[in-house]
Chains A and B, each alone.
Chain A
Amino acid sequence: MTHYTELQLDALRELANIGSGTASTALSGMLGRSVDISVPKAQALPFAEAVEAAGDPETEITGIVLGITGDMEGTVLLLVPPADADAMCRMLGVEPDDEFALSALGEIGNIVGTSYINALAGMTGIEIEPTPPATATDFLGAIVESVLAGAAASSDVALMLDSNLVVEGDDCAISFLLVPDQGGVQLLLERLGLS
């Protein structure tokens, strides 16, 4: 079992806080609305518990995933309830059943995820880049476990940095998960002087 100290989790939470702050500013600019962020959670969980920590496995959810490549490997996953995804499409002037709806969502993910990743890179001095976004609407469990599988090879514990962005007025929420692989967590902690 990989253990993280409270101090390390606090530092990672602070990273997530700054990252999601930057992401919320980007989302706000894109949608033309103000966006609130919740206090992020940093959790190190066995894989069996990690999916449930993200939500009910059989809830239908829209997931937008961006890979992270470079000094640190990992994944950024944005989870949006389908009704909220529809609402955000409308804010961008795209009808949810339009053929462009998926690319509009992908673009939201791209901008929000990229600003998060860039903030992370800026704070820690590591060079990382996002891969293009991919979108799917399905069981939450299926989406989250497929993302966690990438980190499962090298670790028994998933580190999940979880924030919520809430778009004011329309009550839509994006939940934001950063899942670095095992080596990625070590690198982040090293750069924070907490390894």
Chain B
Amino acid sequence: MSALETMVRMGELAVSSEPGHVLVSLGLGSCIGLGLIDRRMSIAGLAHIVLPESQGQAAKDNPRKFADVAVPEMLTALEELGARKVRLEAVLVGGASMFAVPSAGLEVGQRNEAAVRELLEAQRIPVVAAATGGSRGRTVRIDVASSAVTVREAGGKDEELLAGSGVLEVVA
């Protein structure tokens, strides 16, 4: 476990270009952890998106919980760090339906994923890996330096969702 883990909690987003930084969202359920990565520059961002649309409530204290606010905000923040939109790759984690019986607000996972995919498509950002849907919660970690993304389900181990760069150099 790295000492430099940045927790990205419900409705938060973080971007980083610091080697050694790891961006983490613990226990994603219906929320989407959206990672945007510029591999060449070793820049990454992670947004913990709660709901698909702000529906005019963007003026509230924390509009970043909405996909349609979080995506453009994260793009701006990444570009300020030197990332280029044309190089960005997206990873999606979460969007599960934790409870088998549909209850008010609990089918929001699928709507979150659909909204985020639509927003990415409009920006021409490819989704290169995803661990979404189903009924299990997930933890996501993005290693900023290598762009490696791991996902873990309850009771499981970290699984590689996106391979990191520079691993071969270390071996050689």
The interface of chain A, by Cβ under 8 A from chain B, is: 1, 46-52, 57-58, 60, 63, 65-67, 69, 73, 75, 131-153, 156
Query: In the complex, which residues of chain A have a beta carbon less than 8 angstroms from the beta carbon of B61?
Result: 1, 46, 156
A133 to B51 alpha-carbon distance, docked (Å): 23
How does the 8 Å CB contact mask read for B44-57 relative to A, with 1 for contact and 0 for none? 00000011000101
- The answer to whether A60 and B155 touch (CB under 8 A), given A65-B99, A152-B65, is yes
- Judged by DSSP, the binding face of A is mixed
- B interface residues, how many (CB within 8 angstroms): 36
Asked if A146 and B109 make an inter-chain contact with CB atoms under 8 angstroms apart, the answer reads: yes
- The answer to whether A145 and B104 touch (CB under 8 A), given A48-B11, A156-B61, A156-B62, is no
Asked if A142 and B9 make an inter-chain contact with CB atoms under 8 angstroms apart, the answer reads: no
Query: In the complex, which residues of chain B have a beta carbon less than 8 angstroms from the beta carbon of A147?
Result: 105-106
B65's nearest neighbour on chain A, judged by CB, is A152
- The answer to whether A145 and B103 touch (CB under 8 A), given A48-B9, A48-B11, A51-B10, is no
Query: In the complex, which residues of chain B have a beta carbon less than 8 angstroms from the beta carbon of A136?
Result: 98-100, 135
B34 within 8 A of A: no
Query: In the complex, which residues of chain A have a beta carbon less than 8 angstroms from the beta carbon of B10?
Result: 47-48, 50-51, 145, 148, 152
Asked if B103 and A139 make an inter-chain contact with CB atoms under 8 angstroms apart, the answer reads: no
Give which listed residue, B101, B108, B139, contacts A150 with CB less than 8 A.
B108
Query: In the complex, which residues of chain A have a beta carbon less than 8 angstroms from the beta carbon of B57?
Result: 153
Give which listed residue, B12, B28, B101, contacts A141 with CB less than 8 A.
B28
Asked if B98 and A146 make an inter-chain contact with CB atoms under 8 angstroms apart, the answer reads: yes
Give which listed residue, A75, A142, A148, A152, contacts B154 with CB less than 8 A.
A142
A131 to B55 alpha-carbon distance, docked (Å): 27
Query: In the complex, which residues of chain A have a beta carbon less than 8 angstroms from the beta carbon of B51?
Result: 149, 152-153
A1 to B65 alpha-carbon distance, docked (Å): 14
- The answer to whether A141 and B29 touch (CB under 8 A), given A65-B99, A146-B109, A149-B50, is yes
Query: In the complex, which residues of chain B have a beta carbon less than 8 angstroms from the beta carbon of A66?
Result: 103
A131's nearest neighbour on chain B, judged by CB, is B103
Question: Which of chain B's residues 19-56 have a Cβ closer than 8 Å to chain A?
Answer: 26-31, 50-51, 55
B138's nearest neighbour on chain A, judged by CB, is A142
Query: In the complex, which residues of chain A have a beta carbon less than 8 angstroms from the beta carbon of B145?
Result: none
- The answer to whether A47 and B27 touch (CB under 8 A), given A65-B99, A67-B104, A146-B106, is no
A66 to B28 alpha-carbon distance, docked (Å): 20
